[in-house]
Amino acid sequence: MYAASDLRKNLRIKMDNEPYIVTEFNFVKPGKGQALYRCKLKNMISGAQFERTFRSVDVFEPADLQEKKMQYLYEQDDKYCFMDNESYEQILLTADQVGDVRNFLIENIEAEVLLFEDRPLGVTIANFMDLVVTEADPWARGDSVSGNTKPVTVETGYVLQVPPFIEEGEKIRVDTRTGEYLTRVKD
């Protein structure tokens, strides 16, 4: 069980049998008054957000979330198929559940799927992915001003800004949390 004083940003709690994540948190207390915990909560299934103020006597059940190691297999009709590494069972996630991670999914990579009582809620992958550039304008050699960027497309179809010297067929490392270019990768 969590006490109100355990509340903080990103804590996951269970209320009315649904998982919620604390997206904003504020401790408020009038000098002589009681401690109040003002939270913004997001329902991890429906995405609905709302504000709630708790008191120090309130207690919460942790949301019983599981992270399972899975392998990403393929995408079909906007559904993303993952396979449980232990049971070999396959599950389908919607584009919403996959979120921005879909920009970096290539076949057979390792992923962690977040489940609430066997319902998939989301997926995380490695922080850094090496992806092949499939489309890029050629490098205009004169363009060496530092800070200049150009858009390229990588093998997953994702478009991002990179330094002008990156060429088609090269591999680049991308931070999957921010979606940003990090460095060129030489095999």
Contact footprint for another protein (CB under 8 A): 5, 26-36, 38, 53, 56-57
Contact call for residues 152 and 133 (beta carbons, < 8 A): yes
CA distances from 184 to 64, 92, 130 (A): 40, 33, 9
Report the residue number, 30 or 138, with the smaller CB distance to another protein.
30
Min CB(33)–another protein separation in Å = 4
**Please, which residue, 5 or 161, has the CB nearer to another protein?**
5
Contacts of 104 (CB under 8 A, 6+ apart): 125, 129, 131, 156, 158, 174, 176
Pick 35 or 115: Cβ nearer another protein: 35
Q: Considering the complex, what minimum distance in angstroms separates the CB of residue 12 from another protein?
A: 20
Q: How far is the CB of 22 from another protein (least distance, A)?
A: 14
CB closer to another protein out of 5 and 94? 5
Residue 63 corresponds to which tokens in the numbers above?
A: 């949301």
Smallest distance, another protein to C-beta of residue 32, A:
6
Which H helix or E strand runs over 36?
strand 36-43
Distance of alpha carbon 6 from alpha carbon 58, whole angstroms: 11
Sign of the four-CA dihedral 146, 150, 155, 156: positive
